[in-house]
Amino acid sequence: MKLYGIPNCDTIKKARKWLKDNDIDYEFHDYKKQGVPEKELNTWVKKVGWEVLLNKRGTTWRKLDDDIKNSVDETSAIQIMLDNSNIIKRPVLIKNKTILVGFKADEYSQL
């Protein structure tokens, strides 16, 4: 099991606490230090869709030029996420071929 995100994110902290409280081992991948693996990101997009992964509520999105925001498609969304890892919804949890985006305790329990 692998958890992707940034350590200071509140949602990441909740997910990590839940995993620890439930004695579940996982590997943490820090976007800030390790970047976003392009191959992984492409797999996530194919499985869950770029619309699910691209966080349009955060400050990183709001700081983007309006021309970019108004013309975003899958290809440009992937590039935006590669260039600005903070714009990826967090956390992304991978177990085998299952991908969960965001943290919901009931989804984690089922996984």
Is it the case that residue 32 has pLDDT exceeding 90? Answer: no
Q: What letter would DSSP give residue 90?
A: S
What are the residue boundaries of the structural domains of the chain, listed by start?
2-110
Is it the case that residue 5 has pLDDT exceeding 90? Answer: yes
* Under 8 Å between Cβ of 78 and 45: yes
Active site (annotated) includes residue 61: no
Out of 3, 4, 7, 9, pick the active-site residue: 9
Residue 35 to residues 32, 45, 46, 67: CA-CA distances in angstroms? 6, 17, 19, 25
Q: Which two tokens stand for residue 78?
A: 């992937």
Give dist(CA 100, CA 72) in Å, integer.
Answer: 23
What mean pLDDT is predicted for residues 57-84?
Answer: 94
Q: Which CATH number fits domain 2-110: 3.30.2310.20, 3.40.30.10, 3.10.180.10, 1.10.3210.10?
A: 3.40.30.10
Nearest partner of 31 among 5, 10, 69, judged by Cα? 5
Query: What pTM, to 2 d.p., does this model score?
Result: 0.91
Q: Which pLDDT score, from 0 to 100, does residue 8 have?
A: 93
